[in-house]
């Protein structure tokens, strides 16, 4: 059985969706969830689904090998960033080459980069009067949102859409596609 580690910073709805998806499939399971926020809702969601969950600080992630060692001990086949807002250090990219994936709430290469996450993205997309948006699942490299694109899904934007309604459309795409793309990657 393949092993997945999830990094998340916020409420954890994508992480919860992925955990539940793989609880019903024999190909893989989520073995650990990590967050850079000790009060992140994702930690509670994970524990409620019987997945070990831990928080960590900046020093443990960037300046020492504490988090790297914790993850390596689980022997993950794939590391999934599901709303994780920190840049992944080079030591992780080297240790887990082509085994770290991220989901971004826009059609990269547009609306990516430092500071472009969540509602910031949706406000920019609506503000620029785009006619469509979507999600991008991509490999993680040393730059924000610049790794090789694995998958994209699109949704149209109506004149009546707001950043909030666009966010709902994007979340629907994430919930539908992210677990399936992860499953496909683990099957290859």
* Pair 6, 31: CB distance under 8 Å: no
- Number of domain units in the chain: 1
Q: What CATH number should be reported for the domain holding residue 88?
A: 3.40.50.170
Instruction: Supply the pTM of this predicted model.
Output: 0.96
Pair 30, 51: CB distance under 8 Å: yes
Mean pLDDT value across residues 146-158: 97
Residues contacting 15, CB < 8 A, separation 6+:
6, 8, 30, 33, 42, 45, 46, 82, 83
How far apart are the C-alpha atoms of 144 and 107, rounded to whole Å?
14
The residue-averaged pLDDT of 160-183 equals 97
Q: Are 32 and 5 within 8 A, CB to CB? A: yes
Helix (H) or strand (E) holding 70: helix 66-72
Determine the structural domain holding residue 18 and report its residue range.
2-187
| Distance in angstroms (rounded) separating the CA atoms of residues 146 and 163 | 24
Cβ count near 60 (within 10 Å):
17
Average pLDDT, the chain: 96
Catalytic residues: 104
* pLDDT at residue 188 greater than cutoff 90: no
- pLDDT confidence band for 15 (50 / 70 / 90): very high
Question: In this predicted model, what pLDDT tens digit does every residue of 96-125 receive, in sequence order?
Answer: 999 999 999 999 999 999 999 999 999 999
pLDDT band at 159 (very low <50, low <70, confident <90, very high): very high
């Amino acid at each position: 059985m393949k092993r997945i580690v999830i990094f998340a910073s916020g409420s954890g709805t994508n992480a919860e969706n992925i955990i539940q998806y793989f609880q019903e499939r024999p190909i893989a399971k989520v073995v650990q969830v990590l967050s850079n926020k000790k009060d992140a809702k994702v930690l509670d969601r994970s524990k409620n689904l019987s997945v070990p969950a831990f928080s960590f600080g900046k020093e443990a992630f960037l300046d020492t090998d504490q988090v790297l060692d914790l993850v390596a001990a689980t022997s993950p086949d794939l590391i999934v960033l599901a709303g994780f807002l920190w840049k992944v250090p080079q030591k992780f990219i080297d240790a887990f080459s082509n085994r770290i994936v991220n989901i971004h709430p826009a059609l990269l290469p547009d609306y990516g980069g430092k500071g472009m996450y969540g509602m910031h993205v949706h406000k920019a997309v609506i503000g620029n009067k785009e006619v469509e948006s979507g999600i991008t699942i991509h490999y993680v490299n040393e730059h924000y949102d610049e790794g090789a694109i694995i998958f994209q899904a699109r949704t149209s934007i109506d004149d009546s859409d707001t950043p909030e309604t666009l966010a709902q459309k994007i979340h629907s795409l994430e919930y539908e596609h992210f677990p399936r793309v992860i499953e496909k990657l683990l099957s290859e």
